[in-house]
Amino acid sequence: MIVVMKSGASKPQIEHVVKLVREMGLKDHVIVGTERTVVAVIGNDRFKDRSVLESVEGVEKVVPILAPYKMASKEIKKERSVVPFFISPRTKGAPAGPSPSVGGKRLGIIAGPCSVENKTQLLEIAHAVKEAGAGGLRGGAFKPRTNPYSFQGLAEEGLKLLALAREETGLAVVTEVMAVEQVKLVADYADVLQVGARNMQNFNLLNAVGEQSKPVLLKRGMSATLEEFLLAAEYIMAKGNANVMLCERGIRTFEEYVRNTLALAAVPELQRVSHLPVIVDPSQGTGKNHLVDPMCRAAVAAGADGLIIEVHNDPAHALTDGAQSITPQQFAAMMSAIKRIAAAVEREV
């Protein structure tokens, strides 16, 4: 960090800052300018509390240089991380053979209903998205609903149906875990654990998914900055789980023509500062089924490492998020359209 002194800061004030920097176990380099003096702090100050220096007399501001997250940052790892959907040991019933992944040349495509509703619904959708080229099957068994009277998901029954769909199709199961007490149960059935937008800063949950070994799909909170998003990923990684995929799913803005505003610039920006793969959810990201296909194309063009898309065989009767669900036919058409876009940005579908 760099401590910028106020113009006219006194010598004792500058010396006080230097003393505090040394007490932190860091080195100082004082640069005396014509207008003002700055104290450059040398050493790893990532975990030091810079607000201490901010409130010292004579200090104008403190400018951080290192990102506050470490494991998630590019400083630690220059190459892009590839996160597989299946890790070993594989979930009981998961297929053998190479795993679909996100972060490599091939895009990771996860598709399926917002919620698991029943066996016929799930299996029909699972077979259709597999046929169209998806590698992962999404479907919520535990649903975070705004209204307590809305459908809350089938819980373990839903997880069993997801396991059955994996057995029939070979797709990796991606499903949400909402609470620390559910982590073990969900991890017994799922291949990838989803932490939803509403739980992005549930630090106990982040620690719990960090302590188990299944890959984690972490969604950006709807009012979280990218730094807060990366710090949430850091929680998981700091507990020992490096298999984290970041998911941009739209943020809350003043706009009303969409459910959320899909911040696609987050994709290249996250990739600039982090080695973690970034996927895009155009379904929660727009809330409108007619916007899903164009946003899938835009996400791939912007360099996204994958997509997670809500697909329903009967959107009009879906128990959750029907308005933003595309049909299996629309999904198949989208998959063939993004092949050409992927090729243009040197990726594969």
Positions in the binding site for Mn ion (CB under 5 A): 114, 321
- From the centroid of its chain, how far is CA 289? 22
- How many residues interact with ligand PEP (rule CB under 6 A)? 10
Which residue's Cβ has the minimum distance to ligand PEP? 196
- Pick the closer one to ligand PEP by CB: 41 or 236: 236
| β-strands 136-138, 108-112 pairing | parallel
In angstroms, give the least distance from the CB of 194 to ligand PEP.
7
**SS3 label, residue 255:** coil
CB 237, CB 244: distance < 8 Å: yes
- Under rule CB under 6 A, residue 284 binds ligand PEP: yes
Q: Cis before residue 12, ω within 30 degrees of 0?
A: no
- Pick the closer one to ligand PEP by CB: 58 or 112: 112
Among 108, 196, 287, 315, binds ligand PEP (CB under 6 A): 196
* Four-CA torsion 171, 177, 180, 185, nearest 10 degrees: -40
- Under rule CB under 6 A, residue 144 binds ligand PEP: yes
Q: Find the angle CA(332)-CA(82)-CA(344) to the nearest 5 degrees.
A: 50
Helices 289-301 + 328-344 axis angle, to 10: 20
The Cα 202–Cα 130 span in angstroms is 33
- Under rule CB under 6 A, residue 109 binds ligand PEP: no
Which residue's Cβ has the minimum distance to Mn ion? 114
- Under rule CB under 6 A, residue 12 binds ligand PEP: no
The entry of ligand PEP, Mn ion, none near residue 187 (CB within 5 to 8 angstroms by kind) is: none
Amino acid occupying residue 33: G
- Pick the closer one to ligand PEP by CB: 22 or 317: 317
The entry of ligand PEP, Mn ion, none near residue 249 (CB within 5 to 8 angstroms by kind) is: ligand PEP
- From the centroid of its chain, how far is CA 10? 46
- Under rule CB under 6 A, residue 125 binds ligand PEP: no
- Pick the closer one to ligand PEP by CB: 107 or 279: 279
In angstroms, give the least distance from the CB of 223 to Mn ion.
18
As beta bridge partners, residue 5 has: 59
In 95-115, which positions are buried (b, 16+ CB within 10 angstroms) versus exposed (e)?
eeeebbbbbbebbbbbbbbbb
- Under rule CB under 6 A, residue 140 binds ligand PEP: yes
Span of 5-13, 96-104, 191-199, 311-319 interacting with ligand PEP by CB under 6 A: 191-199
- Under rule CB under 6 A, residue 219 binds ligand PEP: yes
Interacting positions 241-270 with ligand PEP (CB under 6 A): 249
Amino acid occupying residue 126: A
The entry of Mn ion, ligand PEP, none near residue 45 (CB within 5 to 8 angstroms by kind) is: none
Span of 43-51, 73-81, 194-202, 286-294 interacting with ligand PEP by CB under 6 A: 194-202
Could you give the C-alpha distances from 285 to 43, 154, 169, 315, in angstroms and in order?
A: 40, 24, 27, 17
- Pick the closer one to ligand PEP by CB: 69 or 142: 142
- Pick the closer one to Mn ion by CB: 135 or 153: 153
CB 345, CB 305: distance < 8 Å: no
Question: First and final CA of the chain: distance in angstroms?
Answer: 42
Among 114, 134, 216, 319, binds ligand PEP (CB under 6 A): 114
- Under rule CB under 6 A, residue 100 binds ligand PEP: no
Written as six digits, the tokens of 205 are 């949950």
CB 320, CB 115: distance < 8 Å: yes
Q: What contacts 254, CB < 8 A, 6 or more positions away?
A: none
- Under rule CB under 6 A, residue 182 binds ligand PEP: no
Instruction: Please report, as ranges, the residues that interact with ligand PEP according to CB under 6 A.
Output: 114, 140, 144, 196-198, 219, 249, 281, 284
